A = this chain, B = another copy of it.
Amino acid sequence: MKKPTLVDVGKESGVSAITVSRALRDPDRVSIALRERVFAAIEKLGYVPDAAAATLASNRSSVIAVLVPSFSNYVFSDVLAGASNVIEGTKYSVQIGNTGYSALTEEAMIPKFLTLKPAGIIIAGVDQTEKSRKMLAGADCPVVQIMDTSDDPIDVIVGFSNFLASAEAVAHMIEQGFRRIAFVGTRMDPRTQQRLAGYRSIMEAHGLFDEALLVTTPQKSSVEIGRHLLGSLLEKVPDCDGVFCNNDDVAVGVALECQRRNIRIPQDMGICGFNDLGTTSQMQPAITSVNTPRAEIGARAAQYILDRNTGLPQPENRNINLGFALKVRASTQRKT
């Protein structure tokens, strides 16, 4: 009644255990006749390989580690979904870690994940501690940073420039005649900081920057917080005529609060979101947002790991920039 092992399958098909192992991992090196007998025996016995034993013997597992700051941030859910689509159906599996937006938590988690001898590691952002970077660089597996760009990735990075994305969005708003454009930011993680930097750089270039226009909170983003923050903003800066939000939820909240206050969009207030999660495009008026390739980032990161594990070399370009797309909608269109 015990779980069959390679030896059992070997006996059943009249070959040695190692031939069974080869038939499974590298079928071309086993003759067709044997291969078929082996597969028949596997089927008959219901043999399933023991991952722990394989990992111990080969010093290499089929686990792909994914470290993200949060699971309740749906941006990372989409990344995970994209990665999962590529990975499901292969021999690889996904083990997840939640760093809670803390570089130190992340640093503590990395050794644990490395002892899994993972087939690859996907990790959010570029703001690892120096120690984390060293551990990852020394890891004997592909490492993919995601959601950002970098000239100096640990191994490979797949993402887009948060700085340029927000810069383009803000430039668009200025071009449409908005002047007192606020930055409304939640959580203030490294990527939000970069969006702030992009905003700031464009605003300063046009002589429009004003500290008073910055409204931030460490809380996580939500529609509700968007509504609150618009209230605080208007108290502080009554002549504000535009809002660039670091997140779509916040943008929807800002829009709903504008409607409640009879502030016309875009005549009195321009609104731009970030991530283009779906609701913004359906609002009335439709809200401009920066579409980010979240699922594709996950998929490309996973595909890179799969490729490296089949022997493909590191590409010459280790900075895979998938870009973004500013979706201009009614909420920021004042010119025709």
Contacts and interface: CB of A to CB of B under 8 A. Distances in A.
Interface stretch (A202-210, A236-244, A280-288): A280-288
A52 B49 contact: no
A77 B49 CA distance: 30
A141 to B, nearest CB: 14
A223 to B, nearest CB: 4
Nearest to A61: B52
Interface stretch (A36-44, A96-104, A265-273, A315-323): A96-104
A95 B98 contact: no
Interface string A135-178: 00000000000000000000000000000000000000000000
Contacts of A249: 278-279
State which size class the interface on A falls in.
35 or more
A55 interface: yes
Interface in A25-54: 46, 48-53
Contacts of A259: 284
A232 interface: no
A139 to B, nearest CB: 12
Interface in A61-115: 61, 63, 70-72, 74, 77-78, 80-81, 84-85, 88, 93-98, 100, 111-112, 114-115
B224 A281 contact: yes
A215 to B, nearest CB: 18
Contacts of A56: 50, 52-53, 56
Interface in A205-223: 222-223
Nearest to A50: B115
Given A77-B77, A260-B284, A223 B279 contact: yes
A282 B227 contact: yes
B278 A223 contact: yes
A55 B115 CA distance: 13
Nearest to A259: B284
A233 interface: no
Contacts of A256: 282-284
Nearest to A94: B96
Nearest to A95: B95
Nearest to A105: B88
Chain B CB within 10 Å, residue with most, of A52, A78, A224, A260: A52
B80 A71 contact: yes
13 contacts: A3-B115, A50-B56, A51-B116, A52-B53, A52-B56, A52-B116, A70-B81, A71-B78, A77-B77, A223-B278, A224-B282, A227-B282, A256-B284
Given A52-B53, A53-B56, A71-B77, 6 more contacts: A48-B112, A50-B115, A52-B56, A63-B95, A84-B96, A88-B100
Give 6 nearest A-B pairs by CB, closest first: A52-B55, A71-B81, A72-B81, A77-B77, A223-B282, A52-B56
